[in-house]
Structure 1
Amino acid sequence: MKVRKSKGMRSKTMRLLHEAPQSAAPTHGSDQVPAAAPVKLVVTPATDPAVTRKSAGAGDLERVDANNRIPSWNPFDRSCLSRDLFDTIGDKWAMLILLSIQDGPLRNGEIKEKVQGISPKVLTQRLGVLVEDGLVTRTSHHQIPPRVDYELTELGESVIEPLQSVYEWTVSHMDEVMDFRRKTRKSQTRAS
């Protein structure tokens, strides 16, 4: 059976499951063959793992989908919620904020000094997202004047190594990138 995938099904696979027939025996005194088992069409995500509700850990139960399966995370899939975290980690301001507090807690103003060019509004927004995603903690000290510190969580510390690698790659390859940019601009100028 050939199944034509519609636009909404591109990220899904089709799978046929055969259910056992209700009654496998022929009817009383007849030569009739029992009806073929009904075929149930089930659509499951292509990245659906073999982990079910029974094998899930206690913390995984809230991730169970409508098919009692735990979804795997795939940022390439446009409907995958992991894209939100991918966006957060890939955002230049979030990356710089995380790298700025890797050596210890900082106040909002101290982060703003380290991450030059970030507006107060964007800093507040990005810190809020990082706190919400559990990468940064926000500690409010009850003193006068009020003081709020931002610090990496254990989860936030785990992303520092890959971010540091991106940072180091950027710094070490920027001269090459600038050469390519100049060449591209020259060729575009000649073409126009």
Structure 2
Amino acid sequence: MDDLVRAAMARWPNVPDVFGWLSLTRNGQWRLHPTGNALALNDSGQYPEGESISNPQITGFISRNYMADDAGRWYFQNGPQKVYVRLDAAPLILRINDNTTGLQAHTGAVIDSVNAWWLDDEGHLYAQTNLGPGLIAGRDLPALLDTLHTPDGQPLADALDAVGTNAIVVAPALAPAQTHPATLHFCAASHIETLLGFVR
């Protein structure tokens, strides 16, 4: 968290929280909702897209001051005010770094360890990381599946074909501090928030 944000929190400790102004897409884009309608479903039952935030200074400021409360709700600490974020998929969107040796979040933070993997019944892969729960970005999923393997060296893609819905042990990979295997679990997409402990 930025020092100026800490100072603002100390100076104005009782500023009300706000909801509906910011969202995070499943691609890791921050989006602004100038009318505060991020949580309002339209006639088609969809949430509004909002406006893309492309200024790197603004996205960097949001990313540095982005965190979760004790209830698993994620927010951006904007000075003294918490701006709660509508999550289209997960709190973190994870990508393989440029040299394919590690994972990083959409915030730019490096993932040091993965405690568990979750594959839902819609084909989305999630990771419980040292920074929190994240969705593997769709474009990076094939490369990640090519990288992961079981402790005995079997490629994860082959293990998935062989085991059905039983859990799979995955060898440490793509996380520099990872020294122990992590289990890959299978679940319904509707259960992912509960299993990973976050609120969309």
Q: Name the one with the larger strand percent.
A: 2
User: TM-score, normalized by length of structure 1?
Assistant: 0.23
User: TM-score, normalized by length of structure 2?
Assistant: 0.23
Q: Name the one with the larger helix percent.
A: 1
Bigger RCO of structures 1 and 2 (CA < 8 A, at least 6 apart) = 2
Q: Which of the pair has more CA radius of gyration?
A: 1
